[in-house]
Structure 1
């Protein structure tokens, strides 16, 4: 008997040795080329980046996978226990794999059951991070090897942290934090037992356990998880029973209102931030680095600016363009039930980012009204209708141009299945902006037809002291066109470029009262063509002070001045202010013939507003990584005294200024003063009624293809551009003042309500003197009258009383025009006539500024806004 037992023991021992050897060979074979598990020690999951506006509200998220990383200590025990109960009840006992679980899976399979993986949480982490989803023995064996190795490197809590933050849980959510937000609109700590159990049910089949589309399957799997939690002692019987009765409400079916802030739709501002960050940090870091971005956006100013731009584009489109038809067309067969038309309308891809506007589908066309179904608005008992009176502007576009007659009945506009845009109006016809469902419906009196304008534009506002961009709208609707016309559209600035010509002159010995000849010029371009620049009024006005040239936007005066000082100097100033890079020295560039962006122009004007200090427009105050470390910030001032602990009574530390002065402050003030004249009596008088110290310049290019207006106060710069994406004439009365004037006025009126109305500061060293605005002569200090202006001069450049600045007329070296009755010198007598198209010629020595009338103001609509040529 003893011999037999010894023999059995020997056989078992030899078998064990061979088994262990075989196992060692398998481990060597499969483990030899496995990926390193050690890199998981420093693993950083791809985590979404968030952008916060000035008020600390989330304004955008950038992500490839919607994941919000949470340290394991911040994940509630309820959530951790739910996943452990569902996926790996022995998680804290095993060493990477569960031998009993594997044996149980084998037995079940041998009995005819489904082959299951019996993977532990550790094994699932290995599969998700280092292996593939292949269902094979090889992959399973590798998984076990890696899991065993990882248990020697990381703690159980670290492994659980990786698992709960990495796992895909459906609804575009990776990790438990994103899933809690996507399904329930809650932070983890607010989840109920039933909600935590549902999340823990999802790893098994996230695509097949949707709470709406697969409700029964989701409830069954949740019930299984609740049973496992009860069996493991994680919840009580009472908690289990209560959770089983929970109806599984989620935000996906609208039965739950989210507790946490929902992420706004992507817009021009947030997309421009993303674009700039990608250029600086790379796409992987921006969309997966878990960055925290503090944006400069002022949400209220953004709303005001965007609304003002949209309102002007809609107004122009409705009065100048015809009805271009529906947004899309649905098959009438899709409109038989409310459920079917809502599903079809939801797939029509109509924009949803226009405040107060809703996509709608025409369900029935009657004699006087059309019945419509409106996306996002519940049906009432009688339905929603749109009458012909609410769409009488919708005249059809004609093939040869122009528009046809006004519609007389709904069938002239609509057909069943048309997808259109509508807006809600109250009894007074005012558009209702509230989108909060019930509140809106309580106020609706009627629905009116809307059309996405064909004409486009951009708006931008900036703080001139810091360069912080407070608002930016790159077009009518981001969902219709993501192209940002504020930062990406390169257009000709026209006369809005002229201040840089005058800045170059003022910094090089010329003054606001320097007299420039406004008379015809003929220039040989060297290409068998002659260039004859003219003023927008097609008239010439003789010798006129520089101030008048910028107030009335005189093209010919600007060309003569640019020729006088040299285009090399003009180009240097344009490049210094960031308007152009490597600007060609063509004379036509003095009138804005080059191409630039609104973003660059507003930034450049900000340096006029702040007295000549260099600033760069910025959309971001600070960017921090996932650990809170600052990657970069806007304010880079050094503070050498900030290292010591400050106590009361000690001198407060003062950061060292880091700005560069790129223009003489006196020059900046001179230029600003002249552009204030543009508001008071020039081409931007539409802004004068605001009663705010403000400077501005308009710009309109040839054939009114581009319209600009940029205005500024000491604490705000705002710019507007309007034009067609494929440049073409906008038509009669389209000027910088008429197109952009209403936008800037509406914005400034709201923006300056809560801001101090500061006057522009007179810089030290400026010499102030009274000048006759019409002739440019120096007046006595006691002179008064409507023609008297107080000009600033650099020390030593101010003229003597009764004299002109410089003592000569600037003609740019062009051959003097000898025809007609235009006065050609400062001393032309009043009898020579015709200096201003029939007005009086300059009269010498006017002591009150009243002897010589000011040049006539441009006709309404801004003729003085100038053009390219």
Structure 2
């Protein structure tokens, strides 16, 4: 064999880095020569051996044991958790199913009020006040303004249409915020979805039963509690609602049941209450204001603080813009033109008047109504504004700053129809103490017209003479009493007209004595003064207490010719949606108390009080005015009550705690308040003459007075002859 045919030995380099060609050739040669001894088959056992070695290393020793232990623990926990989870899910599903079966149809959930509402109309038929739980009517997610729908979703639950009734992300965020702010995890922010809030509004399906709760407020407080168990039940109820109702149906329930301040239940009532329009018509700015009320209805109610409500609305507009419900231009326009209250809502007209109507009307249809009631009233909003402006003007211009003195005003027609009422210096309020109807105060000299009314009814003349001189009486149980005039002076022989004009005390006591104190009490009470009247001669000087509305009503009886009146504010009451009224009132005039001639003579005497006497500050240019001043002992109360041919107006002034007034008499600030009120009331009106009658008979000096029986008051009584000399200055 030659050298050329010998196999050349493989080089070392070839062994390290075999070329591709050689590798393929060698592989082919190898496979051809011995297929069972390929490179692949030889490498496999080696790799398997290495893996086995590595596994053996991991599985052994302390590290492997620890790993196996924790793996076992994890396996047990996981097995326990998923089994418990399955049980919980089954229980939740069962609970949701049970709640689902109790849920009624949507229509049954839209109006869940326990109380009804009262809507009040003025004498022209315009709404001016609301009381009770107002429900403006059913609205739906489809019929409500798109801006309002967007504002509610953007503010309360931006993922409302994407979640399944509860939002774990929202709950976690709320818990984090509560903890960061130092509160408990469930205190403060709740992370509730609109569905959960609706479940809470429905009190989880528990209806209000008056016999089971101390009050409706206690029931609602229980519905709002935030315990962990309550949250769990709320979540289950929300899930059931999501199964039963569509998203828009849930939103419809929410829009109709949410409380939005000022007694408004639901967005339709709130829109009517604040803007005088339907919730289907609100603008973006108005929608933002309404949606902003949800977080704190009373605090953000625009009738309480319009600026605060507008500021809150600005935040809602920002959310609507951020979430794409408003364009930049629309948001800018809404910010530049914030929502404004309707005229009725802004005025809050007749707050005291509305409270009085609610308190004096039939309880079943006012304070405790379960129906929606519409009441037409006697209120004249022009006169109401006049009284409020007069009150504010006098206190701003003529009362020293910081004074806590109060005042009240009542404007009334001659038949007792109350046209305006102000119960205190804060004019735009509701539920406040009403000094016009609730404050019992001594009447002072404003009571004297009823003394002279009794004398005139018994046949005396305004020109009869009475002797004004030092005068004392022995009062059983009290001893000697000597009335004195306000001026501390005496004026001798004066007519009854002059005695009333100058508000002299001694003549008033003398006339009351001879007319009979029982007769005076009868006349006063028949005119409508229902308070307990003093039994002694101090009755003539107004020692008894009365309310301003009683006194004003009694003066209305003088104006109308001597018939009693019952002050009234309700003219018609009917149920919402009904045409036939349940109640009708057209007048408050009652039985005759004194003769028409006597009433007209008394009016003539009282006209002199304003034109010549103590009530000059009340005079109205171009108008005949009759009235009487009144100031009680130590000036704790000051009154002026007067009338034109059209209206009777009463004014009281004093302190709530009976502190004496400083430098104030009935002829002072009360007369000025009366004047300012009536200047505004009579604006644009044509002056009408008073129904008065001047006396014709000559002055009486020493004649025995004619004896007549006051109507409903018995006879003149036993004439006291020994008093005639003192009273009339004769023999």
Which of 622, 626, 630 is residue 695 of structure 1 equivalent to?
626
Do the aligned partners of 1:548 and 1:773 also contact (CA within 8 Å) in 2? no
Do the aligned partners of 1:54 and 1:296 also contact (CA within 8 Å) in 2? yes
Q: Is 1:248 matched with 2:198? A: no
Give the structure 2 partner of residue 302 of structure 1: 384
Q: In structure 2, what is the Cα distance between the partners aligned to 1:776 and 1:713?
A: 35
Q: Is 1:166 matched with 2:239? A: no
Larger Rg: 2
SS at match of 1:306: helix
Give the structure 2 partner of residue 497 of structure 1: 447
Do the aligned partners of 1:686 and 1:741 also contact (CA within 8 Å) in 2? yes
Do the aligned partners of 2:274 and 2:341 also contact (CA within 8 Å) in 1? no
Q: In structure 2, what is the Cα distance between the partners aligned to 1:480 and 1:47?
A: 18
Q: In structure 2, what is the Cα distance between the partners aligned to 1:514 and 1:217?
A: 76
Q: In structure 1, what is the Cα distance between the partners aligned to 2:611 and 2:166?
A: 89
Which of 355, 364, 371 is residue 274 of structure 1 equivalent to?
355
Q: How does 1:831-842 map to 2 (within 5 A)?
A: none
Q: In structure 2, what is the Cα distance between the partners aligned to 1:84 and 1:214?
A: 12
Do the aligned partners of 1:62 and 1:286 also contact (CA within 8 Å) in 2? no
Which of 562, 565, 588 is residue 512 of structure 2 equivalent to?
562
Q: In structure 1, what is the Cα distance between the partners aligned to 2:601 and 2:142?
A: 60
Give the structure 2 partner of residue 341 of structure 1: none
Do the aligned partners of 2:625 and 2:642 also contact (CA within 8 Å) in 1? yes
CA shift for structure 1 position 554 = 2.8
Alpha-carbon RMSD: 5.7
Do the aligned partners of 2:417 and 2:567 also contact (CA within 8 Å) in 1? yes
Which of 562, 580, 585 is residue 612 of structure 1 equivalent to?
562
Q: Is 1:671 matched with 2:602? A: yes
Q: Is 1:824 matched with 2:725? A: no
Q: In structure 2, what is the Cα distance between the partners aligned to 1:73 and 1:107?
A: 26
Give the structure 1 partner of residue 650 of structure 2: 719
Q: In structure 1, what is the Cα distance between the partners aligned to 2:631 and 2:170?
A: 81
CA shift for structure 1 position 34 = 6.0
SS at match of 1:718: strand
Question: Structure 2 vs 1, CA of residues 540 and 33 (structure 1 numbering), >3 Å: closer, same or farther?
Answer: farther
Give the structure 2 partner of residue 752 of structure 1: 682
SS at match of 2:600: helix
Question: Structure 2 vs 1, CA of residues 73 and 602 (structure 1 numbering), >3 Å: closer, same or farther?
Answer: farther
Q: Is 1:459 matched with 2:402? A: no
Give the structure 1 partner of residue 12 of structure 2: none
Gaps of 5+ in 1: 1-18, 92-97, 227-242, 319-450, 638-656, 778-792, 798-809, 827-869
Q: Is 1:175 matched with 2:266? A: yes
CA shift for structure 1 position 493 = 1.5
For each residue in 1:588-638, what CA deviation from the matched residue of structure 2 results, as whole angstroms up to 9, or x when unmatched?
A: 01110111122211111011101123322234444555446677666257x
CA shift for structure 1 position 569 = 1.8
User: When you count helix as a share of all residues, which structure comes out higher?
Assistant: 2
Give the structure 1 partner of residue 79 of structure 2: none
Q: In structure 1, what is the Cα distance between the partners aligned to 2:729 and 2:566?
A: 44
Do the aligned partners of 1:198 and 1:222 also contact (CA within 8 Å) in 2? no
Q: In structure 1, what is the Cα distance between the partners aligned to 2:592 and 2:453?
A: 14
Q: In structure 2, what is the Cα distance between the partners aligned to 1:682 and 1:573?
A: 25
Alignment: residue pair count: 585
Question: Structure 2 vs 1, CA of residues 716 and 812 (structure 1 numbering), >3 Å: closer, same or farther?
Answer: farther
Gaps of 5+ in 2: 1-86, 177-189, 205-222, 301-308, 711-718
Q: Is 1:736 matched with 2:686? A: no
Q: How does 1:617-656 map to 2 (within 5 A)?
A: 617-627=567-577, 635-636=585-586
CA shift for structure 1 position 582 = 3.5
Question: Structure 2 vs 1, CA of residues 730 and 812 (structure 1 numbering), >3 Å: closer, same or farther?
Answer: farther
SS at match of 1:256: coil
Question: Structure 2 vs 1, CA of residues 673 and 73 (structure 1 numbering), >3 Å: closer, same or farther?
Answer: farther
Q: TM-score, normalised by structure 2?
A: 0.63
For each residue in 1:561-600, what CA deviation from the matched residue of structure 2 results, as whole angstroms up to 9, or x when unmatched?
A: 2222322222222222222333232210111011112221
Q: TM-score, normalised by structure 1?
A: 0.54
Q: In structure 2, what is the Cα distance between the partners aligned to 1:499 and 1:186?
A: 50
Which of 633, 640, 645 is residue 709 of structure 1 equivalent to?
640
Question: Structure 2 vs 1, CA of residues 511 and 162 (structure 1 numbering), >3 Å: closer, same or farther?
Answer: farther
Q: How does 1:191-206 map to 2 (within 5 A)?
A: 191=282
Question: Structure 2 vs 1, CA of residues 44 and 225 (structure 1 numbering), >3 Å: closer, same or farther?
Answer: farther
Q: In structure 2, what is the Cα distance between the partners aligned to 1:58 and 1:106?
A: 46
Give the structure 2 partner of residue 771 of structure 1: 697
CA shift for structure 1 position 825 = 1.1
Do the aligned partners of 1:690 and 1:745 also contact (CA within 8 Å) in 2? no
Do the aligned partners of 2:610 and 2:625 also contact (CA within 8 Å) in 1? yes
Give the structure 2 partner of residue 546 of structure 1: 496
Q: How does 1:47-126 map to 2 (within 5 A)?
A: 51-54=120-123, 59-62=128-131, 68-72=136-140, 75-76=143-144, 78=146, 102=164, 125=198
CA shift for structure 1 position 816 = 6.0
Which of 188, 201, 211 is residue 128 of structure 1 equivalent to?
201
Q: In structure 2, what is the Cα distance between the partners aligned to 1:196 and 1:688?
A: 50
Which of 523, 541, 545 is residue 573 of structure 1 equivalent to?
523
Q: In structure 2, what is the Cα distance between the partners aligned to 1:757 and 1:636?
A: 25
Q: In structure 2, what is the Cα distance between the partners aligned to 1:546 and 1:108?
A: 82
Q: In structure 1, what is the Cα distance between the partners aligned to 2:231 and 2:629?
A: 72
Give the structure 1 partner of residue 108 of structure 2: 40
Question: Structure 2 vs 1, CA of residues 706 and 629 (structure 1 numbering), >3 Å: closer, same or farther?
Answer: same
Question: Structure 2 vs 1, CA of residues 191 and 490 (structure 1 numbering), >3 Å: closer, same or farther?
Answer: closer
For each residue in 1:325-379, what CA deviation from the matched residue of structure 2 results, as whole angstroms up to 9, or x when unmatched?
A: xxxxxxxxxxxxxxxxxxxxxxxxxxxxxxxxxxxxxxxxxxxxxxxxxxxxxxx
Q: Which moved more, 1:452-461 or 1:628-637?
A: 628-637
Question: Structure 2 vs 1, CA of residues 813 and 56 (structure 1 numbering), >3 Å: closer, same or farther?
Answer: same
Give the structure 2 partner of residue 533 of structure 1: 483
